[in-house]
Amino acid sequence: MSGISLDEARAVLAERNLIAVGARGDEERRRRHGARTTFVRVIEVPVGAVPASLPASASPGEVRVVGKPASADEAVAAVRAAVAAAGRVPLTAFSLADLFALAGHGVHGLAELATRLVDAGLQAVAEAPIDAFPGEVAVVAIQQTVQSGLRVPRLTIREGTVEAPERLLARAVEIQRVSGGVRTFAPLPRLSSIAQPSTGYDDVKTIAAARLHVHNIDSIQVDWALYGPKLAQVALTVGADDVDGVSALEGDLGRRRSPLEEIRGNITAAGLDAVERDGFFRPIDQ
How far is Cα 251 from Cα 14, in angstroms, rounded to an integer? 42
Intra-chain end-to-end CA distance of the chain, in Å: 33
Residue 172 Cα distances to 7, 79, 151, 220, 267, angstroms: 16, 27, 15, 11, 26
Cα separation, 248 vs 259, in Å, equals 7
The per-residue pLDDT for range 115-129, each reduced to its tens digit, is: 999 999 999 999 999
Of the CA atoms within 13 Å of residue 16, those in its CB half-sphere come to 0
Percentage of residues in the chain having pLDDT higher than 90: 79
pLDDT at 119: 97
Q: What share of the chain is helix, strand, coil (3-state, %, to 5)?
A: 45, 20, 35
Q: Which residue has the higher pLDDT, 101 or 135?
A: 101
Q: Would you put residue 106 in left (φ > 0), alpha (ψ -120 to 50) or beta?
A: left
The H-or-E segment that residue 109 falls in is helix 106-120
The per-residue pLDDT for range 53-85, each reduced to its tens digit, is: 999 888 999 999 999 999 999 999 999 999 999
Query: SS3 for 145?
Result: helix
CB neighbours (10 Å) of residue 105? 10
Nearest Cα to Cα of residue 137 among 185, 189, 98, 100 = 100
Q: Do residues 103 and 95 make contact, with C-beta atoms less than 8 angstroms apart?
A: no
- Report the 10 Å Cβ neighbour count for 262: 16
Say if residue 1's pLDDT is above 70: no
Mean pLDDT lowest among 110-114, 128-132, 282-286? 282-286
Q: 104 falls in which pLDDT band (50, 70, 90)?
A: confident
Q: Is 80 exceeded by the pLDDT of residue 253?
A: no
Give helix 137-147 / helix 165-179 axis angle, nearest 10°. 30
Residue closest to 65 by CA, chosen among 117, 102, 129, 107: 117
| CATH of span 6-277 | 3.20.20.70
pLDDT, residue 257, reads 64
SS3 state of residue 274: strand
**Percentage of residues in the chain having pLDDT higher than 70:** 94
The predicted pLDDT at position 160 comes to 74
CB 75 within 8 A of CB 92: no
Is the confidence at residue 142, as pLDDT, over 70? yes
CA 231, distance to chain mean position in Å, is 16
Bridge partner residues of 35 (DSSP): none
For strand 273-277 and strand 242-247, is the pairing parallel, antiparallel, or unpaired?
A: unpaired
**CB neighbour list of residue 94: distance below 8 Å, 6 or more residues apart:** 47, 65, 66, 68, 69, 75, 125, 126
The CA distances from residue 160 to 12, 142, 174, 189, 198, in Å, are 17, 18, 17, 6, 10
Beta bridge partners of 66: 46
Quickly state the pLDDT bin for 194 (edges 50, 70, 90): low
- Asked if 86 contacts 121 with a C-beta cutoff of 8 angstroms, the reply is no
Give the model confidence (pLDDT) of 167-185 as tens digits.
999 999 999 999 999 999 9
